[in-house]
């Protein structure tokens, strides 16, 4: 099995095309302001606005756990991190398994 990396990071100006693509796939308005992105294998799969917590995601890929991970990271950055739910912990295990292969 090939290892697939999962990364969560702040989006930069060079990520605008990927964010617009995600918004179009999700039939949503593009996110504004500072944004966190989740990438799987180098491909943007989900994003979340730091200001309001609104998320967009690729509807053709399993992204629920990625959105929860983004929300957890937003909570850490904003100082409002709630205790991780069982689903979020499973999502983290899933992301780690993807990364390990």
Q: Counting every residue, how long is the chain?
A: 101
Structural domain count of the chain: 1
Alpha-carbon torsion angle 28, 31, 36, 40, nearest 10: 40
Q: Are 49 and 22 in contact (CB under 8 A)?
A: no
* Spatial separation of the C-alpha atoms in residues 8 and 40, rounded to whole Å: 9
Task: Decide if 32 is inside a domain.
Answer: yes
Full residue range of the structural domain in which residue 73 is found: 6-100
Task: Decide if 1 is inside a domain.
Answer: no
Most confident of 2-6, 41-45, 82-86, 97-101: 41-45
Chain mean pLDDT for the chain: 84
40, pLDDT greater than 50:
yes
Tens digits of per-residue pLDDT, 70-90?
998 898 888 776 555 666 666
Tokens 């796939």, residue?
25
- pTM, two decimals, is 0.77
């Amino acid at each position: 099995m090939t290892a697939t990396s999962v990364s969560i990071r702040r989006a930069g100006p060079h990520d605008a095309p990927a964010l617009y693509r995600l918004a179009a796939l999700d039939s949503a308005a593009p996110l504004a302001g500072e944004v966190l992105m989740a990438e799987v294998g180098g491909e943007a799969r989900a994003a979340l606005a730091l200001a309001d917590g609104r998320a967009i995601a690729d509807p053709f890929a399993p992204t629920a756990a990625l959105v929860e991970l983004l929300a957890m990271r937003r909570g850490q950055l904003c100082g409002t991190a709630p205790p991780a739910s069982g689903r979020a912990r499973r999502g983290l295990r899933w992301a780690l398994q993807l990364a390990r292969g």
